[in-house]
Structure 1
Amino acid sequence: MIDGWTAAQVKAAEQPHLDAGEPLMHRASAGLAREVERLLRDAGRWPAPVVLVVGSGSNGGDALFAGALLAEAGCAVTVVPTGSRLHEEALAAARASGAVVDDAARWSTVGEAGVRLRETGAAVLLDGVLGTGTSACPALRGRARDVVAALLPWVTAPTAPTAHAAATAHAAATAHTGPLVVAVDVPSGIGPDDGAVPDPTVLPATLTVTFGAHKAGLLIEPAAGLAGEVVLVDIGLLPDLAAVPPAVSVPDRAS
């Protein structure tokens, strides 16, 4: 069985580690970078250009620190900010490693997004717009929604399998004709606790790299169908959560 916990349960487990000064974000981003590398190697495209679609919160920080590591490894990294501010330390690390910050306005219509995808040669879109600390309604709004809506036609082309159809991320990586989508912790726009998808403007992921513990929403439809392969990066929370009843438990399809 795979257990899933709510955002509040995971946050409570994180807090003592954060209070102790443990580098949880760096652990998460290092695991995220490893999984992106694995996906690209499976596709025979390592190193390759990566586009980070980044929001204002910690989720964006995870994506930016991972982008810094990918840039250091030889990937051309482009940052598309969808929030009014970005995680300052993570942004500085990404810039120092060679990442380029683009204007989100250039990614806000379908035509412009297609041009930018071709110009960057993006093999992977890293969805770091929203994480588990969203409002009661997780639907994207404003510039973030505009950018994701503009990207959707390019990652759901009829000739490419979506996260719904691909049995594994490896199968998607070897067959996909557009950029692969890697969701950071959860696909942006899904309910992390209940799996709700209040607005269909969500990038369907080939791979979701989640941190600390499986989020309950990743195991519940309809969100589960947008998560693709879900890989858990252990950042040190599992012993704490072992004493906490999970919100949901589902059969492990890989077993």
Structure 2
Amino acid sequence: MILGYTAAEVRAAEEPLLARGVPLMQHAAFALAGRVAAELAERRGQVRGATVVALVGSGNNGGDALHAGAFLARRGVSVVAVCATDEPHAEGLAALRRAGGRAVRAVDADPGAGDHAAVGGAADGGADGGAADGGPDRAAADGGADRAAAGDRGASAVGTSAAPDRVRGAGPDGLPGVWLGDAVAEAYAADVVLDGLLGIGGRGAPRGTAGLLAGLLSDLLESEDAGAAGGGPRSAAEAGGGPLVVAVDLPSGIGVDDGALPDGPVLPAGLTVTFGAAKPGLLLPPASRRAGRVEVVDLGLPLPERPSAARLAPADVAALWPVPGPEDHKYSRGVLGVVAGTPAYPGAAVLTVSAAALSGVGMVRYVGPSAVARSVLAARPEVVAGEGRVQAWLLGPGVDPRHAKQARRLTDALHAALAEGLPAVLDAGALALAPRELAPWCVLTPHAGELATLLGRLGEDVDRAEVEAEPLRWARRAHELTGATVLLKGSTTVVVGAGGAVYAQGDAPGWLATAGSGDVLAGVLGALLAGRAADVLADPPLAAALAAAAALVHGRAADVAVPGGPVTALGVAHALPATVAGVLRG
């Protein structure tokens, strides 16, 4: 499990260690350098001779990047630190220089003005350096960036044989000033770029020179990614071109605690090496899509017992999954009642009961129109049609609230669940029919548009785009207003439940965005709630953990069904037994 802690929680945990003189920055930088070296060895076959460009801001993340650069330089890596600040970390800068690395200031200037020298060949001056953090015109840098985009990765003006008008002489801080267009070209030509522009104390996107560096390089990497792979948030390195961007602690500018994206550039990382603990913004959408793979460096911080957000791993799901023993029978394993489908949407019922049965529930009882029941039984003859005793309910897939008889069956089942204290999944049509007050063992499963509609019915003025921009905020608001656990579906699924539980699961491939996929997820979750009904009633936050477990299995089943390719919802359902078995095997 990856546990996420807020910026304030991490700072509070660091304080006693720093007071004792524990060199946290050196520990973090050494681990960062080791991870970068491993990536270089995998990409190139060796570490020596590789090139790394560190984008350096004024905070501790810039210091981490400089110290990591020093460790890498000692291993034969060519390291250039491009500073976007007047005050880079002094000790880190000195360490980089002692190790043979180079440091420059990025400046936004007319490339034909003033006296200049090449970045790679210019001698460093005094201890501190950086560029003014103003608000220059980004267009001035386009020449160097365009040169890099054209594929001139081996002879950028920054690191090799620049014409003498490309780099300013050393300023009062002692660092030679480099036109930021050439700095971007040098970064694009590198094997690895370290993003150390902003840390957990930053608010909003990088500004001034830092923002220009991040924005221009991000444009280059994402345009190459789009050309090679049809677009998306992956790094250019993952798409087969450009450097690997390694975020130092977190991609600069993301919402550290809530996963929001700023109104400005965020450099997408292929890998984030985060220190002490993951931050919630690395797990939560939409920022999680800019973090790439997340690896946590353990610094021994005394963190709170309860995280602010978490992401389950397969081992966690294995511990949550109800596994029958030799004395179990179909009733003790859980009976799930399903109200789904109408004559217009019979497929939703078929997908839902198929997913529940294939996830391992003891029995499925289907309640619905006879025509739909015939379709269900034709696909899954083990299903029992008709009412009877159940341990949990799954309500709503394929149910049009305007279908009076099925809507009445749904509301009757929901009222019975609330009266008897039974767990329930409320999906699709059930979201429009649910009362305002629910229980934490009732799990709402909307996508962003459905959550906006639900919140509007509860008095909130919010649209789909706002939900997508701040999914944690609005999922939490729905939980506050209804008391239910909320599973907000998306490429990263957010779950909010009782006791402050927050989960973010990023297990679903893009191929899973297909018709009927939500019906399959509902079936998986219904099976889990039926199998652990008594436990959920005794421990309400468990409903959120089970919802996150269902999201993980659902996402992985798509890859099991067709690794790396297109899937159908029924194909995902049929892959569930093998997926669950794989998770349980560990």
In the alignment, the residues of structure 2 paired with residue 9 and residue 163 of structure 1 have an alpha-carbon distance, to the nearest angstrom, of: 32
Question: What is the DSSP-based 3-state SS (H/G/I as helix, E as strand, rest coil) of the residue aligned with 2:73?
Answer: helix
Structure 1 residues 83 and 119: CA distance shift in structure 2, 3 A: closer
- CA–CA distance in structure 2, aligned partners of residues 4 and 160 of structure 1: 33
Contact 1:43 1:173 in 2 (8 A): no
Alpha-carbon offset, residue 6 of structure 1? 0.1
Residue of structure 1 in register with 2:88 after alignment: 86
Aligned partner letter, 1:111: G
Report the residue type matching 2:5 in the other structure: W
1:197-252 Cα shifts (integer Å, max 9, x gaps): 12240110000000000111100001100000001111111xx11x4321112223
Counterpart residue identity of residue 32, structure 1: L
Distance 1:123 1:159, change over 3 A: farther
> Is the Cα contact below 8 Å between 2:84 and 2:105 reproduced in 1?
no
Aligned with 1:70 (options 69, 72, 77): 72
Give the counterpart letter for 1:66 in structure 2. A
DSSP 3-state at the match of 1:102: strand
Alpha-carbon spacing, 1:140–1:165, altered in 2? closer, same or farther (3 Å): closer
How far has the Cα of 1:154 moved from its partner? 2.5
8 Å contact from structure 1 (residues 54, 79) kept in 2? yes
Say if 2:198 is the partner of 1:130. yes
| CA distance in structure 1 between the partners assigned to 2:253 and 2:214 by the alignment | 10
Residue 52 (structure 1) aligned with residue 120 (structure 2): no
Query: 8 Å contact 1:149–1:201 — kept in the other structure?
Result: yes
| Aligned-pair CA distance for 1:22 | 0.3
* Mapped partners of 1:119, 1:234: distance in 2: 32
> How far apart in 2 are the matches of 1:67 and 1:153?
25
Give the distance between the partners of 1:142 and 1:182, measured in 2 at CA: 21
Amino acid across the alignment from 1:146: L
Secondary structure in 2 matching 1:104: strand
What is the distance in 2 between the residues matched to 1:216 and 1:227?
11
Partner residue, 1:169: none
- Aligned position for 1:164: 233
How many Å separate the matches in 2 of 1:57 and 1:165? 27
Give CA deviations for 1:20-42 in whole Å, capped at 9, x if unaligned.
Answer: 00010000000000111111112
Distance in 1 between residues matched to 2:35 and 2:13, nearest whole Å: 24
Partner of 1:187: 251
Q: Aligned pair 1:142/2:211, yes or no?
A: no
1:228 corresponds to: 292
2:16 corresponds to 1:16: yes
Q: Which moved more, 1:79-88 or 1:154-163?
A: 154-163
Aligned partner of residue 42 in structure 1, secondary structure: helix
Measure, in 1, the Cα distance between the counterparts of 2:232 and 2:298: 23
* C-alpha contact 2:144 2:185 (8 A) present in aligned 1: no
Whole-Å separation in 2 of the counterparts to 1:25 and 1:179: 25
| Alpha-carbon offset, residue 52 of structure 1 | 0.4
**Letter aligned with residue 240 of structure 2:** H
Q: CA deviation at 1:119?
A: 5.4
Deviations 1:106-141 (A, max 9, x none): 79723324344655741111000001012xx32211
RMSD: 2.3
Say if 1:69 and 1:191 are closer, same or farther in 2 by CA, change over 3 A: same
TM-score by length of 1: 0.88
Q: Which letter maps to 1:126?
A: L
Matches within 5 A, 1:24-39: 24-39=24-39
Assess if the C-alpha contact under 8 Å between 1:106 and 1:112 holds in 2.
no
Match of 1:176 among 236, 240, 246: 240
1:197 aligns with 2:246: no
Q: Which amino acid aligns with 2:309?
A: V
Alignment-derived partner of residue 111 in structure 1: 143
Q: Which amino acid aligns with 2:197?
A: V
Task: Give the residue type in structure 1 aligned to 2:35.
Answer: E
Which has the bigger relative contact order, CA under 8 A and spacing at least 6? 1
Corresponding position: 1:244 with 2:305 = yes
- The question of whether the paired residues in 1 share the 8 Å contact of 2:206 and 2:264 is answered with no
CA distance in 2, matches of 1:229, 1:160: 20
After TM superposition, the score normalised by the length of structure 2 is: 0.40
Percent of aligned pairs with the same amino acid: 47
CA distance in 1, matches of 2:16, 2:101: 33
**Residues 234 and 268, structure 2, Cα contact 8 Å, conserved in 1:** no
Shift in Å, 1:179: 1.1
Tell me how far apart the structure 1 counterparts of residues 204 and 264 of structure 2 sit (CA, whole Å): 11
Between the aligned partners of 1:41 and 1:174, the Cα distance in structure 2 is 16
The reply on whether 1:61 has 2:52 as its aligned counterpart is: no
Equivalent AA in structure 2 for residue 110 of structure 1:
D
Note the residue ranges of structure 2 that are not aligned, 5 or more in a row. 110-137, 149-155, 157-181, 314-506, 508-551, 553-582
> In the aligned structure 2, how far is the partner of 1:56 from the partner of 1:194?
23
Look at both structures and tell me which one has the larger radius of gyration over its CA atoms.
2
- 1:38-78 CA-to-partner distances (Å, cap 9, x unmatched) read 11112125331000000001110000000000111011011
Task: Label 1:163 to 1:216 Cα distance change in 2 as closer, same or farther (>3 A).
Answer: farther
